Amino acid sequence: MSRFDRRRFLETAAAGSALAALPSIALSQQYAVDTLRIVTGFTPGGTSDTLCRRVAEALNGSHARSAVVENKAGAGGQIAIDLMRSAPADGSTIVQTPASMLMIYPHIYSKLPYDPFTDVTPISLACTFEFGFAVGPMVPDSVRSMQDFFAWCKANPAKANFGSPASGSVPHFLGVLVGRAGGIDLRHVAFRGTQPAILDMIGGQIAAVSGPVGEFTQHVAAGKCRLLATSAPNRSRFAPEVPTYAEQGLTDLQFREWFGFFAPGKTPKNIVDRTNTALRAALATKPVIDGLAVMGLEAASSTPEELGAMLRADHDRWGPIVKSIGFRADS
């Protein structure tokens, strides 16, 4: 082979190698990130985990080559949020968390491993849900409203109690506010999750439970308990026959909680906006909407600015309430 032919052969081979690499280069460039980690502070199979997995499925192969869910359970969700402090601010790691870890925890813990306004960056709302107040077989079938329940508690003070999924949770504080509104001493019984509380209620060990509406629906349908009220300004689409607290004269008890997606603090705006666009598209897909509805959750999205404003408003609203109740998680 002459020098000319050899040079021509090498140039052709190099060009062929470059062309062969083009598909893989194009493939990598179509993804915002190669691997997206969606971190949740709760165990597999729960509401938070299920939400993350639904969204990950929608993002897998579109926003990211691979979207994976990482469960960093512990300390009531604090570990997952604290992880944001050390994660790279490049869009490869986001956290999904219920609002309580950011709007309630700063008021009940004297020390948190994170700051809810500097250590995380809002990306998008994920879903919203309301709370319900239900009674079980300990309470007579004639009790069908909150006013009926208040009257029964006054007549049976030794039985006037309610369960919640955890001390320091929104359902816990809502139950305290319910007791105040009714002028009754409604004692709190803390559980590790809403379902254990409901099981004790339908087993006759406690009178009532305060928890997310979606946790009650299967038990209500089976006739094992009765929902007396829901907490949103309007009736829940998951329990449209149940009047709200406000409809029953308890106008101050209008609360809705949310889950949101957050990035590490100081994540650049262009990365936040890009991730926001992908999440909003995922949250609008039918599999995500239907999957969340099964759990009593309304899929929802927002701009980063809207989520930040919601966080600030809810944080400020709950501060005086928690202070008036006097609860401290680490006292």
Residues 134 and 242 in one domain: yes
Residues 76 and 97 in one domain: yes
CATH assignment of the domain containing 197: 3.40.190.10
Classify residue 148: in a domain, yes or no: yes
Residues 207 and 172 in one domain: yes
Burial class (CB in 10 A: 0-12, 13-18, 19+), 39: buried
pLDDT tens for each residue of 139-174: 999 999 999 999 999 999 999 999 999 889 999 999
Burial class (CB in 10 A: 0-12, 13-18, 19+), 192: exposed
- Identify the domain containing residue 216 by its residue range: 130-248
Nearest-10 crossing angle of helices 269-283, 304-325: 80
Do 243 and 266 form a contact (C-beta atoms < 8 A)? no
Q: Which amino acid is at 175?
A: G
Residues 163 and 75 in one domain: no
Residues 124 and 261 in one domain: yes
Query: Six-digit token pair at 234?
Result: 């309007």
Number of domains in the chain: 2
**Confidence (pLDDT) at 192:** 83
Residues 158 and 306 in one domain: no
pLDDT tens for each residue of 240-258: 999 999 999 999 999 999 9
pLDDT tens for each residue of 96-144: 999 999 999 999 998 899 999 999 999 999 999 999 999 999 999 999 9
